[in-house]
Homo-oligomer: A and B are copies of this chain.
Amino acid sequence: MEHHHLLLQLSPPPPPPPLPAVHLMMSPSFFDAGVFADVGGDWMEDLMHLGELFGVGVGGDDDDNGGVDGRVGGGDDRMQEWQNNCEGGGSPDHQPSCGDGDGDGDGDVSPRDGELGDGDGDNSATRKRRDRSKTIVSERKRRVRMKEKLYELRALVPNITKMDKASIIADAVVYVKDLQAHARKLKEEVAALEEARPIRPPPPSAA
């Protein structure tokens, strides 16, 4: 714990340092020889989908940020670490992340599909592969979106102690409580002050 990282303590408006410089790297095994080794021919759609996040392929809504407010944190999109892309590479078939007992043999198509049908390269295995990589991209977008929201929340809270995701939310919680209490106190103070002088209703100043 203690995670010193950098603890930059940025004030809300000014340039937001993109958070502790976590992971930020690109594994050399991506775009490596092993990726294009024994796969048949449909690795392209995987790369297209996987590349959506970078903005290289489709001009997409990568930076969603248009939901809450105007400007927020700025583009702090970063590249993640592609550990072992696990798809399109050495093991084309799914390794379902756990021994699931293979009770449901619904899919489980023959591996290394693609050139065994010769004519139709769009059998169920290819289709499954395709929308799997689409799911991966969607999930990654979802993660990025939540992280951005977390960053703008962090940018609003003045006293950040730690940079953990959970600690950011915790600090935001105490800050919101403080702010609520402060606003309430201020409000009743202004009420008492106005009550002391009934004449001249208060200048509304700003609507």
Residues of B within 8 A of A187 (CB): 186
Taking a contact as CB atoms closer than 8 A, the residue among B72, B101, B166, B179 that contacts A1 in the complex is B101
Interface size of A by Cβ–Cβ distance < 8 Å?
Answer: 61
Chain B residue with the shortest CB-CB distance to A146:
B166
As for how many copies of this chain the complex holds, the number is 2
Let me know if A15 is at the binding interface, CB within 8 A: no
A185 interfacial contact with B, CB 8 Å: yes
Known: A1-B103, A90-B101. A146 touches B169 (CB 8 A): yes
A95 lies within 8 A of B104 (CB):
no
A202 to chain B, nearest CB (A): 6
B-binding residues in A (CB < 8 A): 1-3, 34, 67-69, 72, 83-84, 86, 89-91, 95-101, 103-104, 142, 145-146, 149-150, 152-153, 156-157, 165-166, 169-170, 172-177, 179-180, 182-183, 185-190, 192-194, 196-197, 202-203, 205-206
